Structure 1
Amino acid sequence: MRSLKQQILILLLGSLIVLAVCFIVAFGWFMKNRAEDAAFIKAQADLATCEEIMDKTFPGPWHEQNGELYKGPAKISLNNQFVDHLSLLTGDTVTIFLGDTRVATTVRGSSEERAIGTKVSANVAQTVLQNGQTFVGKANVVGQWYETGYVPLRTESGNIIGMFYVGISHDYDQKTINGSLITLGILGLSLTIIVALITWFFLQKFIIHPLHNITLGARDIATGHLTQKIKISGSKEIKELENAFNQMVEQLQSLTSEINKTTCDFENNLVPSEEAIYSPPPPDAIVSNPTLDDTTTVNAAEPPTANAVNTGHFRGQSLPKGLNQATLEHVLKFVQTIERPISAEEVAEGVQLTRVTVRRYLEFLEQCGVLKSDQKYGTVGRPLKLFIPL
């Protein structure tokens, strides 16, 4: 299962990618239309420019002589140097037609030779040669699509005998559009990476890290440490979660205190103290212990010794308030039976008492020298205290 951070990043990056793709498609469509419009405007301007250059270079009317096209006294048919000059000035392909046939052109066919003698498309011939109108639009020029402009060539009497053409290759437009889209794509990718890094930083600082601290606090509660409250910074929702968590810790602390108090009162009422069962002997009296041999005695006025605890002789001894002899012997017997380091929780489960009560008996046995304690450190939470029988 993916983490919350990964899910948010995937959702954000997925949204950015979808948005970027939609934007690029819309921008590409917009650029395509704008590029075509710009090409048609350029074709019209180039037509006017080339017509003016032709009139100044070759003064005189257009006419046909012996199947060749002339302007004034100058022969235009096969005058490829002139159309190359116009193409160099405008950046367009340039063609001069006699009727519907190319007689001078920069357009090249599949064999890379000038397309002299080829015909114009039927729709263009209809518009220009028959209707006498200027054609500006897409046209098929020797198998390739161009944004084109065609104007009729008229004799001195007004008859249409040919056409003049300029064209901008559709591949040129496509390269311009593709270059713009690639630039836009690189820019979009860079912005996506920057947004992803910024999002990761804020997620880590204001969401993931606070949630991690709350998780550690919950693990402390699971291990029995109810004193740990958390202090984190984050958004309004994170602060509300922090407050709810700390309120839960306070309620658990209060509930645990009540349970411990009730348990201690119950045990004190259920099992009478040793002082109520046994009348304390005079201070100077020596009490014989029937479980020892005839030469072994225990002074009732002295505190319990390690030897006495180890052998289980607590009868008649003065125990701390709240402890009783039977429970103490029961706890000691259980610990000695295990014969390994053991925690208060394990002992409490084994002797069927609360952890707080068992811990008091274990700490008393530790003071008497019967047990010793050691700290076990884990990866999370407080160290665990283990009791080891000596």
Structure 2
Amino acid sequence: MSHNTRQRRLAAQRACDRILSGSRPATMRERLADLAAGGDLDGQPDFYGDGPVTTLEERVAELLGTEAAVFFPTGTMAQQVALRYGAERSGHPTVALHPLGHLEVHERHAYANLSGLRSTWPTTEPRNPTAAEIGALAEPVGSVVIELPLRDAGFVLPTWDELAAASAAAHSIGARLHLDGARLWESTPYLAHTLSEIADLADSTYVSFYKTIGGLSGAALAGTEQLASYARVWRHRYGGQVFQQWPAALSALAGLDRELPRIPEYVRHARTVAAALAALPGALVYPEPPHTQRFRLWLPYPAQALDDAALALAEDEKVWFAAGWQETDVPGMAMTEITVADPALDWTIEDVAEIGARFLSRVQDR
């Protein structure tokens, strides 16, 4: 997407009165004004990770029920440290990953290029590995990674029993269980367990602050005090010991207060929206019902035509339906990811059907 197209799309989405997928983009001024919700702006900023950063770390450790949590500027950095720790403690440089996992698809294989680790795939099925697949690994591994939810398989989650069994299987083969929990926040309704109960199954857990809860940036790696001490050393070595990160910390704290309590409502409504979208002509939704507040939608049109129709609907009618369409391996079908958040809560099944029909009429007219 060109810069001009992206700016035009953001401007159109921002001007919309109604939004089905995603949220209204905030300006920098609005984001700055929002920081006060996360703490006292008359207090002192952090100095290499104290102050509001420490407050955020303590809040995350409390939520996840871990001994400690360490703030990182990026999730990519946090995950590299977690996998290095597992490799060094076990003596095994191999990591059990899913080929659709974030570490393989979206982090440029940093675990291999920066840490000299290698991967093995317990499964290539579009879901997280089972206990049997973990137990059947043909070589020792330092860590087993479970991504909750597995985004590139459609934001899918295991059941609680499957997750608990996978944890036991990882530990039975002498491996650590690391949770890639960038969107762990929205996984609790489907798993029907608290954040701390989920994290208790793992040896380390990564969470993101800009995904789901709407922070500016940043992540945390949670686990034991020993892991935290190691993580702080390697955060510095990776260049993550930033002088001041109080805006990211305050926005994360505000997001935890504002968004975390609302996630069950978003997940419930995502099921309503998904059912309505699935009824559109030629539509496919996966998973149905959604496991989180996000899911995938396919429609039988070219991706560019769908993006053009979404932009036209937004600019002409001030309604944002869904954009970011991609061509797929399914002939004639394009796909996008739907995110149900606060702006979508007032959309009824009838609203989705009516506006969906108007959206599709624009695709057919082009």
Relative to the length of structure 2, the TM-score reads 0.20
Task: Give 1 or 2: higher helix fraction.
Answer: 1
| Greater Cα radius of gyration, structure 1 or 2 | 1
Relative to the length of structure 1, the TM-score reads 0.19
